[in-house]
Structure 1
């Protein structure tokens, strides 16, 4: 429940809407004042500060934009949410340009309104905290190029600080697009090796026939095309950090030679007769489950334990949705600047849309989305319609009734039997609801016989009492 000192001004020329909002918000614990006209609202605003203004865009004597401007002139920290049955994208953009936090089209769901108010007040609190804690807050939001202040990311920041002070090999695990290389670079940057080379190699992007030469170097004439001696990446990274990305992709023969290099800190170039000493800290990364690869004998167990002394698991974006708004704003600013556009904000409606999407491609997909969206938008506020994505069209297929069956969860693995049972249970429950619990009528709606219905009720544990 909200605290009483949180004071909200509701402005709407419809008395029924004012009374509804007054009752609902008082019940939530807010202190509420109401006004039936713009003139009345401005009179109240001139007498005291409000934490939040909930204002209709169309009023009898003036527009809600006028009330918004008056509220912001009195107190720039007042958070404003505009509501209207007639708001166009242009009106919404104008309201946000004048300082509105959000707008809600009528009719709106009460839960939707409560969430919008909670978000707005949370934003107001965060803005106040930023002014108090300044640099300390920014340190929690950013760790170099890594962003996020969710609990999982704060734990990763602490792990980076701890492991950076050691020379222990680290394995960074996580799905594609989660930013594993950023973690590796942060460890290097925080370590005593920060002034030495950081060398990254994508093990999955180099043909096996060339990978040995890339890692360990080669001598002139050791193979066709070897016209001179070449240092390998181990030597290039001497006294620094070698980042082996997609380590799970390397073949067993290369794994054997890599194991020797890790154990002895000695390498032998292709075609060479002498070993070369290297002082390298190895950070590896994979999106595979290497323990399963070890069991399947596709990855050497001894190499796995040599590389995976400390594991840092980077969570997928769907497990750190608290960071999505921060990331979205960062990519918006980045691509707005690159493209010479003045796009200042992502609307909270657009953020809500993004929150409902799982982002199987993780942060890489989010960044790509914003690059495309910024390129295509013509407004200075990124609205849901501006998002150049199929997110607002839920990924799925149409069923026989023209509805949409969501398929996005398949990318993370599902139990087909469980999903089908859920779907079947939903249809039966809906049929029983429509028929008022009449089983015979429900069988007619579902196109099945009574025996089949009884079987399904028992199988799916559906109570009809």
Structure 2
């Protein structure tokens, strides 16, 4: 194309289609034209790169197999030279592994051949919405939701902002209380689904007998007590994001059904005869090591690979101590707004004590400590004496990651240590530390187990299991 021809043609077109099959190109063009979109269609990687240099596009659809290369190479080229352009890949049925590789390289989403028009319309709608909503969302709610400027936190934020630009399933891994749901909401608010619902689900809090009905809904009369039709969580999140917290708690039988729902993008309500299509982005989280659960046979490997396309690690609070002053100020302001009056201040000694503490319960524990300190403090300033820290859990008393305790945090070697010559049957120091932490949480809530479990960052079922193990149920 010469310079005169380039000047005569419009400099902005909606969609670039890259596929070596002419009938596929025509089908896609016709489908997109019905949506009012202008298209360019080419059959090779070289032609696609030439068009990208000559014009601006809002979306690129590319086949994975092309005569002079593949879609993965084009995805990489677009990420390097057109980083704001969403690119979706078209892959053959059964080639999900290749599509996942494309998502990891930065692709927005994928569709399988034969291309279903409904799925194509949903993909295009979300992709074109990306540029229109991303900048607007970035300057509002997420800025207030994420507090911190430490290197570990800024790296996390940058990763989350990148993940918000695609539809890939994300697995968020981190200790209890690190803010996994906060970062999931951040990803949702910056993405193309920000106008849709964000539906959080604690998988460990749903009775196994009701899980299928809760996730997929049910029809009237499908079982005793089903007095009317009920919408499931997947349907409630349609057009938005479904966040499955503590996904490692799902029973194996439910894992099979969840895998099918993710693969088919459809669910079948209990008592229904046909599946219903759903359009959700899936985010999941757990404080457990899912790889270990797979090795132990407690989590399906195929589901693990499907939800773990991209892993986002939440740094514990002890790795971002620089953020404690800003977090504390934010929490104290929120407590003051709730109770009325001016926010309390932290003395230098109190702030020093907090920054020297290991925070096994992370940000959630910081919130609980400050709320208790506000209740006990008589003046406007919180001093170190007003903050009740757990014994021997200062930064200097903690071991390396190889000594991680049952919650994923490190247990001090001298805490409750009985020595190598202890009596047979004595519990290890890690178990003592966990039991003391749970007892104190129960005492603080007057043995309200639901409230204690919530403060500890575990499910009620997990708390009951530990109490039964120690003969305290």
After TM superposition, the score normalised by the length of structure 2 is 0.54
CA distance in 1, matches of 2:251, 2:188: 27
Is the partner of 2:318 in helix, strand or coil?
Answer: helix
| Contact 1:173 1:313 (8 Å CA) reproduced | yes
The answer to whether residue 386 in structure 2 is matched with residue 390 in structure 1 is no
Distance in structure 2 (CA, Å) of the matches to 1:206 and 1:191: 28
SS in 2 for 1:147: coil
- 2:198 maps to which residue? 198
Task: Tell me by how many angstroms 1:144 deviates.
Answer: 3.5
Residues 294, 300 of structure 2: 8 Å contact kept = yes
Is the Cα–Cα contact under 8 Å of residues 194 and 240 in structure 1 kept in the other structure?
Answer: yes
Aligned equivalent of 2:145: 145
Q: CA RMSD in A?
A: 3.1
For residues 141 and 351 of structure 1, the distance between their equivalents in structure 2, rounded to whole angstroms, comes to 27
After TM superposition, give the deviation of residue 349 of structure 1 in Å: 0.9
Verify the 8 A CA contact 1:343 1:379 in the aligned structure 2: no
Higher mean alpha-carbon deviation, 370-379 vs 275-284, is at 370-379
Match of 2:98 in 1: none
Q: Deviations over 1:226-268 (max 9, x none)?
A: 1111111101111110011110000111000000011110111
CA 1:141/1:208 → structure 2, altered by over 3 Å: closer, same or farther?
closer
Query: Is 1:227 paired with 2:233?
Result: no
- Counterpart-to-counterpart distance in 1, 2:411 and 2:371: 31
Distance (Å, rounded) in 1 between the aligned partners of 2:294 and 2:359: 29
Contact 1:171 1:285 in 2 (8 A): yes
The question of whether the paired residues in 2 share the 8 Å contact of 1:197 and 1:241 is answered with yes
Q: Report if the CA contact (8 A) 2:242-2:282 is conserved.
A: yes
Partner of 1:399 in structure 2? none
The CA distance in 2 between the partners of 1:372 and 1:284, in whole Å, is 31
Alignment correspondent of 2:15: none
Alpha-carbon distance in structure 1 between the residues aligned to 2:412 and 2:345: 39
The CA deviation string for residues 174-225 of structure 1, in whole angstroms up to 9 with x for no partner, is 0111110001101110001100111111100001111111100111111111
What's the offset of the Cα at 1:343? 4.2
1:250 aligns with 2:250: yes
Match of 1:215 in 2: 215
The alpha-carbon distance between structure 1 residues 416 and 380, as it changes in their structure 2 partners (threshold 3 A), is closer
- Number of aligned residue pairs: give it: 276
Does the CA contact (< 8 Å) of 2:335 and 2:371 recur in 1? Answer: yes
Cross-structure match for 1:165: 165
CA deviation after TM superposition for structure 1 residue 337, in Å: 3.0
1:242 and 1:159, CA in 2 relative to 1: closer, same or farther beyond 3 A? same
Say whether residues 1:287 and 2:287 are aligned partners: yes
Within 2, Cα distance between the matches of 1:233 and 1:410? 34
- How far apart, in 2, do the equivalents of 1:336 and 1:416 lie? 38
Deviation readout 1:377-420 (Å, 9 max, x if unpaired)? 11111111222x134x5469xxxxxxxx9689874346969x98
Change (3 A) 1:341 1:375: farther
Deviation at 1:166?
0.5
Shift of 1:339: 2.2
SS in 1 for 2:285: strand
Q: Is the 8 A contact 1:141 1:147 kept in 2?
A: no
In the alignment, what sits opposite 2:316?
Answer: 316
Find the counterpart in structure 1 of residue 304 from structure 2.
Answer: 304
Find the counterpart in structure 2 of residue 23 from structure 1. none
2:179 corresponding residue in structure 1:
179
Return the alpha-carbon distance in structure 2 between the equivalents of residues 140 and 196 of structure 1.
17
Query: Alignment partner of 1:166: what SS?
Result: coil
Q: How far does residue 336 in structure 1 lie from its aligned partner after superposition? A: 2.5
Q: Provide the rounded CA distance (Å) in 1 between the counterparts of 2:144 and 2:210.
A: 33
Q: Is the 8 A contact 1:150 1:323 kept in 2?
A: yes
Contact 2:357 2:393 in 1 (8 A): no
Flag the 1:410–1:254 CA change in 2: closer, same or farther, 3 A.
closer
- Separation (CA, whole Å) in 1 of partners of 2:413 and 2:338: 44
Matched, 1:241 2:247: no
Instruction: Describe the SS at the equivalent of 2:172.
Output: strand
Q: Describe the shift of the 1:415–1:335 C-alpha distance in structure 2 as closer, same or farther (beyond 3 A).
A: closer
Compute the TM-score of the two structures, normalised by the length of structure 1: 0.55
Alpha carbons of 1:422 and 1:210: their partners in 2 closer, same or farther (altered >3 Å)? closer
The answer to whether the 8 Å contact 2:392/2:412 transfers is no
Q: Which runs of 5+ in 1 are unaligned?
A: 1-137, 397-404, 424-465
**Structure number with larger C-alpha Rg:** 1
* Match in the other structure for 1:342: 342
**Contact 2:188 / 2:241 at 8 angstroms: preserved in 1?**
yes
List gaps (5 residues or longer) in structure 2. Answer: 1-137, 421-473
